[in-house]
Amino acid sequence: SYTSFSLSSSQVLLYGSPAARDLPLSNNFESGRTLGRNDVTFDPASYNLYTTSDVSTAEASARTAGQGDVTSNPSNYSLYTASDVSTAEASSRVAGQSDVTSDPKSYNLYTASDLSAAEAASRTLGQQDVTASPETYELAKMAQLSAAAEAARTIVNVSARVALGEDEIVTPGFVVLGEQKKMLIRAVGPKLADLGVGSPLPNPKMTVYKSRWDGNPPDVVATIDDWKADNDNVAEIVAAMSSAGAFPLEPAETFQGRPFMTDDTSSAAALVTLDVGVYTVQVRSADEGVGEVLVEVYEITE
């Protein structure tokens, strides 16, 4: 068969034993190639080759060595240690603080001096707002207060007309402001008949109290049952009624165009000088009667 490849017998001996001369040359090539592979894979180091394990070991060793190179001298690789970073961070933080404190306005911040100046300016503006238009803030100027105080010092007349039943009491109140005042206080019953009242209280009795603020009961200023019998200044009371424009309790031919002939000695009246304070007038029947009563308070200025 080797003659078909134009080979001599001596040439055939180069590729195999005489026993193999009849085998195809391709088989010898393949066998030799396999043997060559086995030679190398069995002992790769003899051929300057390495196994996967050799490469992995070398790679791991080289990687560890590379890590050691960097960690032992990180600055050569443009890297920094944690200490370097902490130092840089602290330094940068201080620098940042200095940036802001040296020029706070660039960061929309203000110094204590700025705040004080702004507060003072705003306070002045607030004062101007109020003083320019105090009524907007429910305030009043001194002139307005003076006028109000003057008006408060003058009590022209306050009164209350009440129908009292059996054992009932009426207790109106009033306030004296500014200074002492001379006051005419009345609880009128029978004389109301001259004014057309059908059922006046026959015998009113009144007690004037001044309130206290120390927890004690109010002070009794005066207790009057029958105004003529219980007062020693009857003439002064009569004059005060006239000066205040109050209707008289004594008989009069006419008052405001009508007959006024009832001689009312049972109503209560007193003329007293009162200090600044809060007062009440307690009125009841002196004899368990019922009917209408008129309680009046006048300031006497003449």
The model's confidence at residue 176, banded by pLDDT at 50, 70 and 90, is very high
Residue type, position 228, single letter: K
The predicted pLDDT at position 212 comes to 94
For the stretch 187-212, pLDDT in tens is 999 999 999 999 999 999 999 999 99
The model's confidence at residue 116, banded by pLDDT at 50, 70 and 90, is very high
Q: Token pair for residue 228?
A: 């003529």
The predicted pLDDT at position 15 comes to 47
> What's the rounded Cα separation, in Å, for the pair 171 and 81?
93
> What's the rounded Cα separation, in Å, for the pair 84 and 106?
30
The predicted pLDDT at position 131 comes to 87
The model's confidence at residue 70, banded by pLDDT at 50, 70 and 90, is confident
Top pLDDT among 272 and 179 is at 272
As a whole number, mean pLDDT of residues 93-102 equals 91
pLDDT of 149 above 80: no
pLDDT of 248 above 60: yes
> What's the rounded Cα separation, in Å, for the pair 139 and 141?
7
> What's the rounded Cα separation, in Å, for the pair 210 and 212?
7
Nearest C-alpha neighbor of 157 from the set 273, 17, 296, 15: 296
The predicted pLDDT at position 275 comes to 96
Q: What is the mean pLDDT of the chain?
A: 88
pLDDT of 17 above 80: no
> What's the rounded Cα separation, in Å, for the pair 36 and 51?
17
pLDDT of 1 above 90: no
Q: Token pair for residue 282?
A: 């307690």
CB contact at 8 A, 277 and 175: yes
The predicted pLDDT at position 3 comes to 57
> What's the rounded Cα separation, in Å, for the pair 23 and 5?
12
All domains of the chain in start order, with CATH: 2-71 (no CATH), 156-300 (2.60.120.1050)
Nearest C-alpha neighbor of 187 from the set 202, 167, 174, 166: 202
Give the Cβ contact number of residue 296 at 10 Å.
21
